[in-house]
Amino acid sequence: MTVFDDGIALERTADGLLSGRTVPEWANMVGPFGGITAAALVRAIELQPDVHGQPVALTANYLAPIADGPFDIAARAVRTNRTNQHWYVELSQDGEVKTTATAVFGIRRDTWGDTQLVRPAVPAPDEVPAGSIGPTWMANYDMRYVAGGIPDGTDGASASSETLLWLRDNPARPWDFASLAAACDIFYPRVFLRLGRMLPAGTVSITVYFHADTETLDAQGSDFVLARAQAQQFSAGHFDQSAQIWATDGALLATSHQIVYYKA
Amino acid sequence: MTVFDDGIALERTADGLLSGRTVPEWANMVGPFGGITAAALVRAIELQPDVHGQPVALTANYLAPIADGPFDIAARAVRTNRTNQHWYVELSQDGEVKTTATAVFGIRRDTWGDTQLVRPAVPAPDEVPAGSIGPTWMANYDMRYVAGGIPDGTDGASASSETLLWLRDNPARPWDFASLAAACDIFYPRVFLRLGRMLPAGTVSITVYFHADTETLDAQGSDFVLARAQAQQFSAGHFDQSAQIWATDGALLATSHQIVYYKA
């Protein structure tokens, strides 16, 4: 039972909901780290008695900050097909919805496959120093920035919006679909990097496509994954970012996209 | 009133739902073109009396094929904040949910902005011949393929999964958020291009990030947009694709991502 497991721990309540609570170790600037919330939503579906298949896609929408304390998750299978299942999920506190999500779970089948993206060539994790600055929750990860580390106030503006880092849970923990969802939200806001300073910003909606299956995750174990994110456009108070999570051996485990609110 | 307007026409019913129906001109291989469904979902929110702001993000999930005939759309504002609003939407036929969606609408504000993506250099639309093959709905678009046209059976396999085309409604129609959502789903399945043949494939979930505001869309009028899509990974029965829609003058109007089921 690591701090990650503690962050996504859920208990079934009498009314069929799942009950969780925020833990101080996952605190972000306002409310908990969005990635741990996304992970709890994945876990909430995995815990349903009628779950069918494994995560294929998740879209989580952050409606309002989650306050310190308990929350409830209601997960509903809207439709179950032979090879996939569609979910709608709401996370609430005192009857107020704080997060919504849709998810697709599916059966993986043997098919032709190929990867179009090329994994960036990078030094091995043990050749990259650990990063340390950031909000509380970052202590729950071993983060080793290859490029695009958190600007420290002397870095100035950057033409690039790319961040590339080796990442694993701290303490190390075998990767699963829940922790992979969290990893997709690991990147501090791209606008900090572009402008070389911190400013108000927060994820509004994140989508994760899970390419890994159980066997791929088992092969990955608790080793470092390579995480990369880059913005696409900043305009009128929102920017979007695309991200990829690669296995140590080069397999593409997940791709992810998010739209982020900012003031600048 | 063009064929596009006809495809997304909705009427308010006594029980507060919006009622629409499929039209033969939008027929795809099975059910209607997913893009016209996504557009109807956007329009359903725009028609709500309590709508706040303009589309920022949409995720539509295709649970089951829509049968020929009427459908109902139920749209619920789950939360309205000062600067944005979160929606959950269901499209049903005879009480059976066929499509779900979440959407974020928001107020656009003047901020610093920049575009990280570079628009591909391409010949002007009038220098590119119109494409014509494909299912019924494609007649509702003027599609001019610059690269990655629909394989005709003699093209063979392709190492690239990229399609790049000039696109406008046929008949020409001023772009709006609904038609922009439809445009994001304009690309035939990337697996057809890679393998050089048609096979069973269908979008499971699509996400659209709207970068354009009303002024940008007004400036675009009904002129051609440049649409680009590329797959990221094909594995175990699903692939994901990322797409961009560019204005004639080079502005990035929308970015989009989808996960697609296939058999190969």
Bond before A151 cis per omega within 30 degrees:
no
pLDDT at position B153, please?
78
What is B200-246 written as a DSSP string? SEEEEEEEEEE---HHHHHHHTT--EEEEEEEEEEETTEEEEEEEEE
> In this predicted model, what pLDDT tens digit does every residue of A142-190 receive, in sequence order?
999 999 999 987 889 999 999 999 999 999 999 999 999 999 999 999 9
d(CA A156, CA A192): 10
What residues does A209 pair with on adjacent strands?
A57, A255
In the structure, what pLDDT confidence band is assigned to residue B87 with cuts at 50, 70 and 90? very high
d(CA A173, CA A168): 8
> In percent, how much of chain A has pLDDT > 90?
94
- CB < 8 Å from B in window 218-237 of A: 230-237
In the structure, what pLDDT confidence band is assigned to residue A124 with cuts at 50, 70 and 90? very high
In the structure, what pLDDT confidence band is assigned to residue A134 with cuts at 50, 70 and 90? confident
Enumerate the residues of chain A whose CB falls inside 8 A of the CB of residue B113: 233-236
The nearest CA of chain B is from the CA of A216 a distance in Å of 12
Which of A111-115, A128-132, B69-73 is predicted with the least confidence, judged by mean pLDDT?
A128-132
> In this predicted model, what pLDDT tens digit does every residue of B168-199 receive, in sequence order?
999 999 999 999 999 999 999 999 999 999 99
> In this predicted model, what pLDDT tens digit does every residue of B7-49 receive, in sequence order?
999 999 989 899 999 999 999 989 999 999 999 999 999 999 9
A264 and B111 within 8 Å at the Cβ level: the answer is yes
Region of A237 please: left (phi>0), alpha (psi -120 to 50) or beta: left
> What are the distances in angstroms from CA B249 to CA A240, B39, B124, B127?
21, 24, 11, 17
Number of CB pairs, chain A paired with chain B, less than 8 A apart: 199
pLDDT at position B155, please?
86
pLDDT at position A198, please?
92
Q: Which segments of chain B does DSSP mark as H helices, in order?
A: 3-7, 34-46, 177-183, 190-195, 214-220
pLDDT at position A154, please?
86
In the structure, what pLDDT confidence band is assigned to residue A132 with cuts at 50, 70 and 90? low
A264 and B59 within 8 Å at the Cβ level: the answer is no
- CB < 8 Å from A in window 141-160 of B: none
B59 and A161 within 8 Å at the Cβ level: the answer is no
B81 and A104 within 8 Å at the Cβ level: the answer is no
Apex A239 CA angle, A237 and A242, nearest 5: 170
Cβ neighbours around A101 below 10 Å, total: 28
Q: What is the mean pLDDT of chain B?
A: 96
B86 and A102 within 8 Å at the Cβ level: the answer is no
pLDDT of A75 over the 90 cut:
yes
Region of A154 please: left (phi>0), alpha (psi -120 to 50) or beta: alpha
pLDDT at position A241, please?
97
Residues near B85 by beta carbon (within 8 Å), at least 6 away in sequence: B51, B52, B53, B77, B79, B104, B105, B106
d(CA A126, CA A140): 18
d(CA A84, CA B259): 13
A255 and B233 within 8 Å at the Cβ level: the answer is yes
AA identity, residue B195: L
| A53 touches B at CB < 8 Å | no
| B214 touches A at CB < 8 Å | no
Cβ neighbours around B15 below 10 Å, total: 8
> Which chain B residue has its CA at the smallest distance from A105's CA?
B204
What is the b/e burial string over B185-215, where b = at least 16 CB atoms within 10 angstroms of the residue's CB? bbbbbbbbbbbeeeeebebbbbbbbbbbeee
- CB < 8 Å from B in window 60-89 of A: 61, 63-64, 78-79, 81, 83-84, 86, 88
Q: Which residue has better confidence, B1 or A100? A: A100
pLDDT at position A222, please?
98
Q: Could you say which DSSP state residue A215 is in?
A: H
Contact A84, A107 (CB under 8 A): yes
Structure tokens at A14: 């009498």
| A54 touches B at CB < 8 Å | no
Q: Which segments of chain A does DSSP mark as H helices, in order?
A: 3-7, 34-46, 177-183, 190-195, 214-220
